């Protein structure tokens, strides 16, 4: 049975694609067949030129999925998915995303499936549903990508609490943009995220340096 994780972030440009690529690199290096989905990509017409392509560059061993399964919605206008879809004359249907996910599990039976969010959990998919509804609908746990800098405690704990309010399991946090020598503020951020969020920091990632510390990942892969 596949291990599946929804990779989201505390905001836009927090490093979700970078961390997803590191996770895919980590799992494929351990011999785990890995599928990566991007349920909704905006700003282009070919998803291979977007986040999925970046993940493939770092982790070439991921499964080659049909694009209609890997990225059910690829929308030209660069914006929140709901607006890009409206401008394209379509509506993002959560059932279509769920069907693509189920088909990947059925046809490819990967050891690991990673679904990368667009933006944070409150990014709208349509006029009724938001990103948080994807893991809630699929019944899958979430890995949150957080920044190392000042302000991350508030953003991360709010994200954790909102997911739990929706009965979505938070598997842990990966902190991105960790400097070579984190000072007292950043080290305290790690501690307070774990304490106030009642969660585990699974890994630390440095900008363009990969995982600095990935001990927590060994508990789940």
Q: Residue 184: how many CA atoms within 13 Å on its side-chain side?
A: 0
The number of angstroms, rounded, from the C-alpha of 171 to the middle of its chain's C-alpha atoms is 12
Residue appearing with tokens 């994200």: 159
Joined together, the tokens standing for residue 100 give 């693509």
Residue 191 annotated among the catalytic residues of the structure: no
DSSP-derived secondary structure for 153-169: HHHHHHHHHHHHHTT--
Decide the pairing of beta strands 201-206 and 210-213: antiparallel
Contact in structure between 22 and 56 (CB atoms under 8 Å): no
| Cα–Cα distances in angstroms (integers) from residue 151 to residues 9, 136, 144, 158, 171, in the given order | 14, 27, 15, 11, 21
Alpha helices in the chain (DSSP H): 16-29, 51-58, 67-70, 81-88, 94-108, 133-138, 152-165, 184-197
Q: What is the DSSP letter of 98?
A: H
C-alpha closest to that of 125 among 98, 167, 86 = 86
Catalytic residue among 38, 54, 96, 195: 38
The residues annotated as belonging to the active site are: 38
């Amino acid at each position: 049975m596949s291990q599946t994780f929804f990779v989201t972030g505390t905001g836009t440009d927090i490093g979700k694609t970078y961390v997803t690529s590191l996770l895919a690199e980590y799992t494929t290096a351990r011999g785990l067949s890995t599928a990566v989905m991007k349920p909704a990509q905006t700003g282009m017409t070919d998803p291979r030129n977007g986040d999925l392509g970046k993940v493939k560059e770092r982790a070439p061993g991921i499964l080659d999925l049909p694009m209609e399964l890997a990225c059910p919605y690829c929308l030209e206008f660069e914006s929140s998915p709901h607006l890009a879809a409206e401008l394209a004359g379509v509506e993002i249907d959560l059932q279509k995303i769920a069907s693509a996910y189920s088909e990947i599990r059925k046809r490819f039976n990967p050891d690991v499936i990673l679904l990368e969010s667009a933006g944070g959990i409150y990014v709208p998919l349509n006029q009724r549903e938001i990103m948080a509804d994807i893991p809630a609908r699929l019944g899958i746990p979430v890995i949150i990508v957080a920044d190392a800098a000042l302000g991350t405690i508030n953003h991360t704990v709010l994200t954790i609490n909102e997911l739990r309010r929706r009965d979505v399991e938070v598997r842990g946090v990966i902190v991105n943009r960790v400097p070579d020598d984190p000072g007292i503020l950043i080290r305290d951020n790690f501690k307070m995220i774990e304490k106030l969020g009642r969660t585990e920091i699974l890994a630390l990632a440095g900008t363009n340096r990969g995982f600095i510390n990935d001990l927590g990942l060994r508990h789940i892969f």
